[in-house]
Structure 1
């Protein structure tokens, strides 16, 4: 497993990370035993950059990751997030970034994860009612106290990234980036590169759609949030599946899977880009790792740009409420 550095002066992490969200929520039911086995297999294969958040499974995902790494904490680079508030029944209760909440969320995450320090602590979503300088200021104090090592932001707009970085160096910015979600290429990627901040790409497989395994909306379990996602419903689904079929054809020509081609495209965006595809099964983890061996030519990249240029996907990448919380 190769390494990539998060920013000009940040830490080295595995070239591909593991997104753990789907192990606890959103993508249908799963097995904790298989999820833990997948995390262990990831570590054994050199995928040591693990990504979770306090909102995933309303804390259950952090607890799961904590159990998985209990006897191998020194082998992983652990990232988690705060800011998306969930109620006792799992309901979404808005976004918070006030200093008091930042501190309490960090203490709760440390306890659930069973660790003394979080390697990379992200603000999951930006609180529009709190100055980013106040949020980052409290994160910086947590770092001074040894509770976190590096600071990150998720789904922050360029102006917010600049203000945060001026308050305390930001190590990584995480936003969605894939063949069908290319918004970050316009402003976010140029901004973080200018500032020397690392970039972490979540949902690099388009929430599974770019694997080519989803043929119909009926393929989703009843408890899978994609059943109600704008890109997976109605006419949008039909338009988007046609695009994926063109990617599938190119993957066949390359002798790789559709998922590997989609991941190779993200990896080819630059050595400062680290994708964190999520999976809860070992066989898909192995497939994702093998994407590192796929080499895309200039002609391949040109063809993919023709199939899925920026804005080609039908439908927003979140529902209306979700879109209100990104890029701000």
Structure 2
């Protein structure tokens, strides 16, 4: 498993990271998945305080016991759970972030977080207040680096322009190429992209066509366009899963491609796909089929 530097942070993350939102709430099953990921060379694990109301952080922390020093741990804050436990509200204030990090540290069972991310963002936020929180946490040693998880270009640009953020998490895959327009901006800011939705809800796997036929579209593809596109991609590629992962990693702006797994088999399938690689020619052929869309809202 190769590693890439996350921005200019000095942190080197595995090209495949484990997106932990998909982990089951059963500790034994999740521990098996996490152990298999580490055995495969994955060192980047991403969670959030919002996932399962904090249970996901607890599960991941328990699964990583005794292995903390070997991994890069990322979590997120900004979504405040309502007091009744039903739903959440957006809160990017320094006060909330300073409290949220303490709760995440307790749930995970660690003294520090490697990459702490703002879990969203709007142009109405007091971004100076938010960034002050992250910088204070860095100074206190509670986090090593920070970033943002967002698909809003204007929010991302403002955050990068006024901070020392090292990462931007965005949905990016062959069927959602909107982030490509903003890769130069992110790279010039000294940050890296962490991709989520790397295999597009499974549309970019061996099961892709069957899934597409049951779906009501994806991003800017309507239902029929999605089916036709996935069918064409599948016909051109010997292993669509492998090519989809290779496509995401072809640009050095991307530091790590997150995959989710509810079972060890799903994880192993993605690891095999990553190790199989794909030729530059095959990637170019698939690129010619996949549309390049742009974000229509929240533009710079």
TM above 0.5: yes
Q: Does 1:241 align with 2:231?
A: no
- Offset at residue 205 of structure 1 (A): 0.7
Partners of 2:123 and 2:155 within 8 A in 1: no
Q: 1:279 to 1:201 in 2, by over 3 A?
A: same
Of 83-92 and 69-78, more deviation after overlay is shown by: 83-92
Map of 1:56 onto structure 2: 51
How big is each residue's C-alpha offset from its partner over 1:148-184, in whole Å with a ceiling of 9 and x where there is no partner? 1101111154444443334431111111100111110
Partners of 1:5 and 1:272 within 8 A in 2: no
Q: 1:17 to 1:149 in 2, by over 3 A?
A: same
- C-alpha distance in structure 1 between counterparts of 2:175 and 2:85, whole Å: 29
- List runs of 5+ in structure 2 lacking aligned partners: none
Q: Structure 2 residue aligned with 1:43, among 38, 44, 48? A: 38
Map of 1:224 onto structure 2: none
Partners of 1:176 and 1:204 within 8 A in 2: yes
Map of 2:267 onto structure 1: 285
SS of residue in 1 equivalent to 2:260: coil
Q: 1:9 to 1:32 in 2, by over 3 A?
A: closer
SS of residue in 1 equivalent to 2:237: helix
State how 1:1-328 maps to structure 2 within 5 Å: 1-24=1-24, 31-87=26-82, 91-155=86-150, 157-187=152-182, 189-213=183-207, 215-216=210-211, 231=218, 236-252=222-238, 256=239, 258-270=240-252, 272-311=254-293
SS of residue in 2 equivalent to 1:18: strand
Q: 1:194 to 1:237 in 2, by over 3 A?
A: same
- C-alpha distance in structure 2 between counterparts of 1:173 and 1:130, whole Å: 17
Of 189-198 and 8-17, more deviation after overlay is shown by: 8-17
Q: 1:231 to 1:179 in 2, by over 3 A?
A: same
TM-score by length of 2: 0.89
- C-alpha distance in structure 2 between counterparts of 1:284 and 1:66, whole Å: 21
Of 81-90 and 281-290, more deviation after overlay is shown by: 81-90
SS of residue in 1 equivalent to 2:95: helix
- List runs of 5+ in structure 1 lacking aligned partners: 25-29, 220-226, 317-322
Q: 1:217 to 1:165 in 2, by over 3 A?
A: closer
- Number of matched pairs: 298
Partners of 1:212 and 1:245 within 8 A in 2: no
TM-score by length of 1: 0.82
How big is each residue's C-alpha offset from its partner over 1:182-234, in whole Å with a ceiling of 9 and x where there is no partner? 110012x1111111111111111112222242515897xxxxxxx8x7639xx
